[in-house]
């Protein structure tokens, strides 16, 4: 396996502390694949036999209702990982995962991660920390769904996105994407965004969102 794959593994929070020889072994057991936009990587209940490292592109992790409703749990950017829960407990997938754009992914066998955790305590601790961080995030998101109205949920999601020096949100996010993040209808999200724009808190232009008054948006969201 090429050196660049080893570097990809070393750059992750999970494997940054692993010895070089261990990383080489993980790299040799892994495989990289290219996926087109909109491809389903796995669905709820599938075997959790790989941990996935995102080399390029973005993946959304979602849960879906029987009638087709969708709630996005997280979006995994380049350098991120998904599948740590199955690596920790050996269980099946607990959500669906789908590519948001063309992606290059590294598929790491679950057994390789589990074996490494048994040999390298710092990797086992990193895995536990990752699972705990995801649990904390999901708990906060669940609280927001119950206790915050939709405009405040929209404000929190906007503030959580990486922005450049001018406040432009770097990653494109359609109103439908945003609706799936906050558990609401696209029309309601549009109304919230237009309300923020009238207040001068954001600017909407050519499907790009610019945060103009982050402090005001944060106060509104209750941060």
DSSP 174-209: -HHHHHHHHTS-HHHHHHHHHHHHHTTSEEEETTEE
CA dihedral 116, 106, 93, 84 (to 10 degrees): 40
pLDDT of residue 19: 95
Distance CA 104, CA 31 (A): 11
* Number of domains within the chain: 2
pLDDT of residue 11: 95
pLDDT of residue 1: 42
Cβ-contact 11, 106 below 8 angstroms: no
pLDDT of residue 68: 81
Residue 40, domain CATH: 2.60.120.10
Rounded to the nearest 5 degrees, what angle is found at the Cα of 186, between the Cα atoms of 182 and 188?
80
One domain, residues 95 and 76: yes
One domain, residues 209 and 100: no
Q: Write out pLDDT tens, residues 159-205.
A: 999 999 999 998 888 899 999 999 999 999 999 999 999 999 999 99
pTM score over 0.95: no
One domain, residues 187 and 131: no
Residue span of the structural domain in which 204 resides? 149-221
One domain, residues 207 and 100: no
pLDDT of residue 170: 87
pLDDT of residue 84: 94
pLDDT of residue 129: 96
One domain, residues 84 and 22: yes
pLDDT of residue 2: 52
Segments in the chain below pLDDT 70? 1-3
pLDDT of residue 32: 95
């Amino acid at each position: 396996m090429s050196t660049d794959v080893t570097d990809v593994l070393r750059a992750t929070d999970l494997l940054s502390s692993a010895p070089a020889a261990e990383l080489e072994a993980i790299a040799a057991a892994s495989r990289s694949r290219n996926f087109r936009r909109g491809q389903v990587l796995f669905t709820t209940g599938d075997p959790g036999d790989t941990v996935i490292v995102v080399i390029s592109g973005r993946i959304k992790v979602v849960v879906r209702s029987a009638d087709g409703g969708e709630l996005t749990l997280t979006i995994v950017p380049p350098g991120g990982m998904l599948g740590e829960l199955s690596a920790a407990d050996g269980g099946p997938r607990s959500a669906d995962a789908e590519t948001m754009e063309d992606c290059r992914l590294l598929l790491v066998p679950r057994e390789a991660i589990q074996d490494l955790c048994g040999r390298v305590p710092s990797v086992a601790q990193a895995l536990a920390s990752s699972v705990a961080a995801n649990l904390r995030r999901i708990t906060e998101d669940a609280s927001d769904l119950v206790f915050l109205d939709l405009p405040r949920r929209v404000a929190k999601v906007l503030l959580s996105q990486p922005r450049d020096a001018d406040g432009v949100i770097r990653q494109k996010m359609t109103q439908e994407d945003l609706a799936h993040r906050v558990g609401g209808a696209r029309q309601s999200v549009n109304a919230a965004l237009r309300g923020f724009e009238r207040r001068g808190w954001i600017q909407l232009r050519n499907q790009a969102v610019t945060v103009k008054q982050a402090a005001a948006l944060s106060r509104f969201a209750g941060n």
